[in-house]
Structure 1
Amino acid sequence: MRRAPLLLLLLVLLLPGCFQLREPEPADAVSEWIQPTQIDILLSNFTTAVERLNPANYERCFSGPAYRFVPDPTAAGTTAALFANWSVSEERDYFNSLRRRAPATPANQLTLTNRRDQFFTTDSAEVSALYQLRIVQQDTAFRPALLEGSIRLVVRRRNNEWKIAGWRDQRTTGAQATWTDLKKYFISH
C-alpha cells in the first residue's frame, strides 16, 4: 500500500513531460485565404499572397502538374531553357527565395488594371490585365523596385474552386523590368 502513493507521485512528476508546448501557427497564414469560388476571389488571394509574401497561400493559387508559366521572351533571353518546364514547384522555389530576402514586414504592392475576362467554358477562362508590382526586398544585386507588364492567366474551376492553370508574362514598355526578370533572378539566387 505504501507503493501506491509513491507511484502516484512519480506519475504526477513525469506526466508534464508528455505534453510539450509549441509556438502557435501565425494567424495570418490561414485567415487571409478565402475559398476561391469566384475568379475575383482567386485574384484577391493571389494579390494578398504576393503583397504579404505568404508562400502557402501563393502556392494554393495554382493548379497542380498541368500548370505552366510562359516568360516574357525578351526578359527570358538566353535563359529561356530555365522556363521550359516551369511548374508550381519553381513558383514555390522562386517565391521562397524572394521571401528570404524581404524585410520582416513585407510591403509589396500589386495592382492589376484594364482587366478582361474571356470565358472558354463555365469552368475555364483567361484573365488578361496590366500589372504593376512594387517589390521590397534586400538583395542589392536585384535593383528593380517596380515591375510592369501584361499578365494573362488561364484559370480553371475544379471542385468549385478557381485556380491558375497557366500564366503568360509580357513586357509592355521597353526598359521596364517584368515579373519574368524577378522570377529569373530569384530562382537562381
Structure 2
Amino acid sequence: MPLLYRFLLCLPALLSTGCFQIREPEPADAASDWITPTQIDLLLANFTAAIQRPNVTNYERCFSGPGFRFIPDPTAAGTAASLFANWSVSEERDYFNSLRRRTPATATNQLVLTDRRDQFFTADSAEVSGLYQLRITQQDTAFRATVLEGNLRLLVRRRNNEWKIAGWRDQRTSARPSWTDLKKYFITH
C-alpha cells in the first residue's frame, strides 16, 4: 500500500484529535475519609463522619445490601407508615441525597451518641443501641427542625471482616422530632 494512501486513511483520525479535550482529573472526594470497618467503633466513626459532611457514598457504604430494613418510630411515621414498609438501602441513599442537596456546601451536621450499649449475639452479629442527638444544617424552610433526638438500635453484622448496618430501629424519646421525621420528609421532598 503506497505511503500516500496510508496517510490519507489516517488523516481523519489525526484531524479529529481536536474533538477530544483532556480535562483535569476530578478532585478526590471525601471517600478517602473511609476507614475499613473491621470493628464496630470504626463503622460508627464512618457513619458519623458521613453524616457530618454529608457524604452519600460513604453513608451508603455503612449499610448491608438487600436484607437491610429500617423500622421507624410509629408515632413519627404516623399515616406514612406504608412509606417505610419496604425501606431498604436504596431509600437510605435517596433520603440522604435529598438532604445533602439542601445542605450548604460549607455546613456540617453533628451526631452525638450517648448511653451506648453493645449486645453481641454471635462473634459476627450485635445490636448497638443508644440515645442520639442529631443537629442538622439544611436550607429547606419547610422542614424547620434543627435538632432531632431519639433512641437508635442498629443491628450490625460482620462479613468478610467488615461491619455493616443490617437493620435500624428508631424510637422517639422526647417532644423533639426523631430521625424518622427527617427520613419521612426528605424521601418525599
Answer yes or no: same fold by TM over 0.5: yes
Let me know the Cα RMSD of the aligned residues. Answer: 2.2
Residue ranges of structure 2 left out of the alignment (5+ in a row): none
| 1:187 aligned partner | 187
| 1:49 aligned partner | 50
| 1:123 aligned partner | 124
1:53 Cα deviation from its structure 2 partner: 1.2
| 1:134 aligned partner | 135
* Distance of 1:167 and 1:54 partners within structure 2: 19
Supply the AA of the counterpart residue of 1:40.
D
Supply the AA of the counterpart residue of 1:33.
W
| 2:59 aligned partner | 58
| Structure-2 change in CA distance of 1:154 and 1:23 (3 Å) | farther
* Distance of 2:135 and 2:84 partners within structure 1: 23
1:113 Cα deviation from its structure 2 partner: 1.1
* Distance of 2:99 and 2:39 partners within structure 1: 28
Pair 1:84-2:85 in alignment: yes
1:70 Cα deviation from its structure 2 partner: 0.5
TM-score (norm 1): 0.90
Supply the AA of the counterpart residue of 1:176.
R
1:114 Cα deviation from its structure 2 partner: 1.2
**Matches for 1:16-27 after TM superposition, within 5 Å:** 16-17=17-18, 20-27=21-28
| 2:100 aligned partner | 99
* Distance of 1:12 and 1:36 partners within structure 2: 48
* Distance of 1:24 and 1:180 partners within structure 2: 38
| 1:178 aligned partner | 178
1:28 Cα deviation from its structure 2 partner: 3.0
TM-score (norm 2): 0.90
* Distance of 2:114 and 2:27 partners within structure 1: 31
| 1:111 aligned partner | 112
* Distance of 1:178 and 1:141 partners within structure 2: 16
Query: Runs of at least 4 residues of structure 1 off by over 6 A?
Result: none
Supply the AA of the counterpart residue of 1:75.
A
* Distance of 1:25 and 1:121 partners within structure 2: 42
1:22 Cα deviation from its structure 2 partner: 3.5
Question: SS at 2:87's partner residue?
Answer: coil
Residue ranges of structure 1 left out of the alignment (5+ in a row): none
Per-residue Cα deviation, 1:114-150 (whole angstroms, up to 9, x for no partner): 1110000000000011111110000000000001111
| Structure-2 change in CA distance of 1:73 and 1:12 (3 Å) | closer
